[in-house]
Structure 1
Amino acid sequence: MNFNDIVESIPLPAVVISKDEKVISYNHLMEASLEEVMETGESIRNAFLRWETNTSSEMIMAESGKKRFIFIEGSLTGSSDRLLIGKETSELSALKNENKELKNLTHELDAIIESSYDGIYITDTKGVTWKTNSAIERITGIPKEYYIGKSVDALVKRGILKKSVTHKVVKQRRTVSVVQDNFAGKEILITGTPVFNEDGVIEKVVTNIRDLSDLNALQTELEKMNQLNNKYKKELALLKNKPDRLDGIVINSEHMKMIYNTADRIVDIDATVLLLGETGVGKDVLGKYIFTNSMRSREGEFIKINCGAIPPDLLESELFGYESGAFTGASRQGKPGMFEIADKGVLFLDEIGELPLQLQVKLLRVLQENEIQRIGGTKPKKVDVRIIAATNRNLKEMVTKGDFREDLYYRLNVLPIFIPPLKDRRDDILPLIQTFLNQANEKYHMSKLLDGKLKDFLFTYDWPGNLRELSNLIERLVVITPDDAIKMDNLPSEYRESSETIIGPSSIVSLKEATEMAEVKVLGLAVEKYKNTYDIAKALDSSQPTIVRKLKKYNLMVKR
């Protein structure tokens, strides 16, 4: 290769000069940089306005018009000629600026990597660590400096990593994620991502290490907070006034609101519920409400059986079922009992006080061991049934008399709820009347209305049959009354007789005493119905100060 070829192959402006500084050869980059063409054999100094040699740095500073050069002198093998390789100072400045920008970008990249909460380490394609951040020390307990220059294979061998994604990323040429435990027992998520050059060749692998134990702890805390939040929401809902009706259930009185608030608290507590109260107060309605709003309504059924309506010799087979051939007339296939049918659900035992003593023993076993045995069967069967029992009898008194087992009584009496009679919750009467009237009108395609005096009578009546009696009477009136308006005259005779004596004294007394008795009765009913003395005065056609005075006289208070 001659000098011309050598000089031309140099990627920077280059010129070959003799010892006496005569131009021998130069490349096209040198020619393009000069404002005047150099002639071979002339002095190099003639091509530049200024030519100075810096002896301390062994560099030559040259100037040609607006361009400035820096030349570095080299030698050619086997020749005494001098090779000068130069660079315009403008290009050097650009390189310097570019180098500065590159340093700034590198600093920013380092800051970003260092600020990451996740551990980051960058390797080449062979798995040798090139850069990492301080988070990896928090996750692994090993200083980040240890990783630099280390192979991921060495980290696996030492037990710091169980597996490395680097080789998988290089092999599969895509992002790869694995979950594993590190040497400290922490669960970590490792994600490796390939970095490609312009030719599509992987140059680096960036691996992200996330400590899932922290994330899992946060998730657990979040779930606890959500559960607590839901609990508070439920508590707040219970503290608020319930609406007057819940799916057709009237709970206008404060007493009934408290009862249904209690029911809301125990819907998913699988303890036995004992509903107490007179016949017709709505024990079965409350039992069905507890089931409907519980988790059991999603899997099981609400099965109701009246213990007093089925003969004792048949009640056992109804409750516990029987096997094939257990007795004469038994089905060949056998029959499941109510406990089996109610599995995963609720069995409502109405009139539990009528349960015969021999069946009380079997019921006690179900409550204690959660298993039943069919009549004629030899193997017990597990059942998952919640018991809701109801009675209008005094079970405590029955225990004393020996008519009810004491151990069964205490098994049933875990969550007792007493439902008061209708006469003790008169705030429910008028809403119930309207509910039953709407139901009867819809059932018989009518549009009957109740007279105001009739409503007053229904409000003051004591209702020994409670809701059942009230419902039956309203339906009866809707059917038998020929006119659209139902009045006092349409009442059955037994109710009309009651209406004539409802506020009268039961024996002969002085007129003053009779007047006071009537006032007490009327005012007592009024404070049940109205919320303030102004409404009472208006309803009784009196003045508000008079009402206040008489309420104080008879020691009566308005319920708010």
Structure 2
Amino acid sequence: MVLTDVVERIPLPALVINQDGKVLSYNHLLKTHMGEKITKGEKIYNAFSEWETNHSSKMIMAEACGRRFVFIEGPLHDTNDLLLVGTETQELSELKNENKELKKLTRELDAIIENSYDGIYITDYKGVTWKTNSAIEKLTGIPKEYYIGKNVSALIKRGILKNSVTHRVVKQRRTVSLVQENFAGKETLITGAPVFNEEGDVEKVVTNIRDLSDLNELQSELGKLNELNNKYKKELDLLKNKTKQLNGVVINSEKMKLIYDTVDRIADIDASVLILGETGVGKDVIAKHIFTSSNIRSKKGEFIKINCGAIPPDLLESELFGYEGGAFTGASRQGKPGMFEMADRGVLFLDEIGELPLLLQVKLLRVLQENEIQRIGGTKPKKIDVRIIAATNRNLKKMVANGDFREDLYYRLNVLPVVIPSLRDRRDEILPLVQTFLEQSNRKYDMTKTINTELKDFFFNYDWPGNIRELSNLIERLVVTTPEDNIQVDNLPYEYRETKETNISSSSIVSLKEATEMAEVKVLGLAVEKYKNTYEIAKALDTSQPTIVRKLKKYNLNLNKGEG
């Protein structure tokens, strides 16, 4: 091989000199550093400004073109010529730094692997163990040093390992996982991931071994904590002292807050509920709330409602219990399921239960006692799982005394009684309800109507015999029929205007608290019309600004201009 070719193959700056120090050959790496300074046939000492030889170490320190070099000399075979191979000292320093950094990274990697909670097992593509950590000892019961240099196939053959993902990872060229028991009978999750080289071949396999028994225990504990957290959250929601709005019903009075707290608590208690209250107080809303709040019924079945007073008695039985095909004249050939079947695993809401005929009261009692129904014309009873919620505006105890309602059925229904007060007994909710129904009607009819203070005062003092339903209907009527944007007392229907003077001048005696609230509404209503902000109102009424803000919020009064 030609001398020039030999020198050119060396991956570092290199040259050949004879015994006289003349340059015989050099490679392109040295030429890159030296440029025109290096020339064949010239003495090497002429190319370098410094040239110092250490004969004992065969090392030469040299300098040229402002760069320092280190060369190591050695004889060429069969000649007296010398081969000098070296590097620039700056490159040597960089190599030292890189080596130092590499050692640091290696130490850090070793520390990370060693301190991992999971077992880590690293092999080459043939399955020979390259590295592992101490965590594998507690998972397999065998010291980590035993694995080094051994092939996973041999370890499986000897029964030390039950399975290995290494060969699967190499074959499938992707991450592979499997679950198996360790020596102690605990479940472990083994996940192997491939490490590819520059050619795209699997070079190594990193296997992670995790003890699932600890994870299962943690998940179990987490489930208990989440369950406890949900319980606390529900309790906190129940205890929150603020206005809530559910399905269009404002809950602002202490009486209604207590009722909703109660129905939230009984939502998952699978017993009959009897809701009592005047017409229009929202008994159906309470019934639907019990259903939607239930974690059992709302997920399994439906909420079915039937008004016992709206269906003729001769049709009510077939509506409740259903009928078989051809059971009576005009009956469908396929038959029809009744309300009880439709509400299976859910809730059946029997509204106006006081209107239920005595004959059907007997059949309803049988359903409650035996949890089964029989269709009209049917021969076999059918098991059902239905929660009964009943409601009435009538005095069932008085009906029992008069013989109009079965006593045994009354006690079957009255397991969890809920009594809803009339709207006149929870006046704190009147003005918030007015605002709610006004916003609903404005959205429905694409309007922007407002209600003036005098009319709000009338709403607050009116007795509302029809309760929430009457209030809702009146607001919607006023929004539709009032030509102006601001609804006033004069826009009230005649029957309400007729009672307005009576309500104001000769109303029945009320409690001091109600009288105070009526006076506050009147005074605050005039104040919000006259003053621009709550600071001016507070000054005029000789009280604090926070008190004014709280009172305005309580009575749902808004400033017509300026800040609130």
C-alpha distance in structure 1 between counterparts of 2:307 and 2:187, whole Å:
59
Structure 1 50/470 Cα, relative in aligned 2: closer, same or farther at 3 Å?
closer
| Native 8 Å contact 1:448 1:486 kept in 2 | no
Residue type of the alignment partner of 2:323? Y
Equivalent residue runs for 1:460-471 within 5 Å:
461=463, 463=465, 466-467=467-468
| Native 8 Å contact 2:15 2:84 kept in 1 | yes
- Corresponding residue for residue 116 of structure 2: 116
Equivalent residue runs for 1:182-331 within 5 Å:
182-183=181-182, 184-196=185-197, 198-243=198-243, 245-267=245-267, 270-291=270-291, 301-331=302-332
C-alpha distance in structure 2 between counterparts of 1:431 and 1:11, whole Å:
88
For residues 391-412 of structure 1, the C-alpha deviation after alignment (integer angstroms, 9 at most, x for no partner) is: 2345456667776556544443
| Native 8 Å contact 1:347 1:386 kept in 2 | yes
Equivalent residue runs for 1:48-59 within 5 Å:
none
| CA-based RMSD | 5.8
C-alpha distance in structure 2 between counterparts of 1:9 and 1:433, whole Å:
96
For residues 119-152 of structure 1, the C-alpha deviation after alignment (integer angstroms, 9 at most, x for no partner) is: 2111122212121012223444433223223322
- Corresponding residue for residue 562 of structure 2: none
Residue type of the alignment partner of 2:208? N
- Corresponding residue for residue 350 of structure 1: 351
- Corresponding residue for residue 551 of structure 1: none
Offset, 1:331: 2.6
- Corresponding residue for residue 150 of structure 2: 150
TM-score (norm 2): 0.65
Residue type of the alignment partner of 2:238? L
Equivalent residue runs for 1:457-496 within 5 Å:
459=461, 461=463, 463=465, 466-467=467-468, 485-486=489-490, 490-491=494-495
Equivalent residue runs for 1:125-136 within 5 Å:
125-136=125-136
Offset, 1:193: 1.5
| Native 8 Å contact 1:8 1:27 kept in 2 | no
Offset, 1:320: 0.6
C-alpha distance in structure 2 between counterparts of 1:532 and 1:496, whole Å:
14
C-alpha distance in structure 1 between counterparts of 2:278 and 2:371, whole Å:
30
Larger C-alpha radius of gyration, 1 or 2? 1
Offset, 1:305: 1.9
Offset, 1:283: 1.6
C-alpha distance in structure 2 between counterparts of 1:479 and 1:86, whole Å:
105
Offset, 1:324: 1.0
For residues 166-221 of structure 1, the C-alpha deviation after alignment (integer angstroms, 9 at most, x for no partner) is: 1122223x23221302323224141231342x555544322222344444544454
C-alpha distance in structure 2 between counterparts of 1:423 and 1:265, whole Å:
26
| Native 8 Å contact 2:427 2:460 kept in 1 | no
Residue type of the alignment partner of 2:413? L
- Corresponding residue for residue 339 of structure 1: 340
For residues 303-332 of structure 1, the C-alpha deviation after alignment (integer angstroms, 9 at most, x for no partner) is: 322334445443221101000122344332
| Native 8 Å contact 2:118 2:136 kept in 1 | yes
Structure 1 475/109 Cα, relative in aligned 2: closer, same or farther at 3 Å?
closer
**1:426 to 2:427 alignment:** yes
Offset, 1:231: 4.0
Uncovered stretches (5+) of structure 1, i.e. residues with no partner: 16-20, 39-47, 54-59, 504-520, 540-558
Structure 1 494/317 Cα, relative in aligned 2: closer, same or farther at 3 Å?
farther
C-alpha distance in structure 1 between counterparts of 2:150 and 2:489, whole Å:
97
Secondary structure, counterpart of 1:348 in structure 2: strand
C-alpha distance in structure 2 between counterparts of 1:476 and 1:7, whole Å:
105
Residue type of the alignment partner of 2:353? I
C-alpha distance in structure 2 between counterparts of 1:438 and 1:70, whole Å:
94
Residue type of the alignment partner of 2:514? E
Residue type of the alignment partner of 1:125? Y
Question: Structure 1 stretch 466-475 or stretch 480-489: which is displaced more?
Answer: 480-489
Offset, 1:350: 1.6
C-alpha distance in structure 2 between counterparts of 1:446 and 1:107, whole Å:
73
Offset, 1:274: 1.5
C-alpha distance in structure 2 between counterparts of 1:487 and 1:49, whole Å:
115
| Native 8 Å contact 1:530 1:536 kept in 2 | no
| Native 8 Å contact 2:244 2:250 kept in 1 | yes
Residue type of the alignment partner of 1:314? L
| Native 8 Å contact 2:457 2:521 kept in 1 | no
Identity %: 62
Residue type of the alignment partner of 2:495? L
- Corresponding residue for residue 175 of structure 2: 176
Residue type of the alignment partner of 1:206? V
- Corresponding residue for residue 546 of structure 1: none
Secondary structure, counterpart of 1:491 in structure 2: helix
Question: Structure 1 stretch 406-415 or stretch 447-456: which is displaced more?
Answer: 447-456
| Native 8 Å contact 2:454 2:489 kept in 1 | no
Residue type of the alignment partner of 1:317? S
Structure 1 372/85 Cα, relative in aligned 2: closer, same or farther at 3 Å?
farther
Offset, 1:113: 1.9
Structure 1 27/407 Cα, relative in aligned 2: closer, same or farther at 3 Å?
farther
Structure 1 368/194 Cα, relative in aligned 2: closer, same or farther at 3 Å?
farther
Offset, 1:373: 2.3
| Native 8 Å contact 1:282 1:467 kept in 2 | yes
Residue type of the alignment partner of 2:494? N
Structure 1 497/377 Cα, relative in aligned 2: closer, same or farther at 3 Å?
farther
| Native 8 Å contact 1:251 1:257 kept in 2 | yes
C-alpha distance in structure 2 between counterparts of 1:352 and 1:531, whole Å:
37
Aligned length: 493
For residues 368-409 of structure 1, the C-alpha deviation after alignment (integer angstroms, 9 at most, x for no partner) is: 554432122234445454321112345456667776556544
Structure 1 131/497 Cα, relative in aligned 2: closer, same or farther at 3 Å?
closer
TM-score (norm 1): 0.65
Residue type of the alignment partner of 1:255? K
Secondary structure, counterpart of 1:149 in structure 2: coil
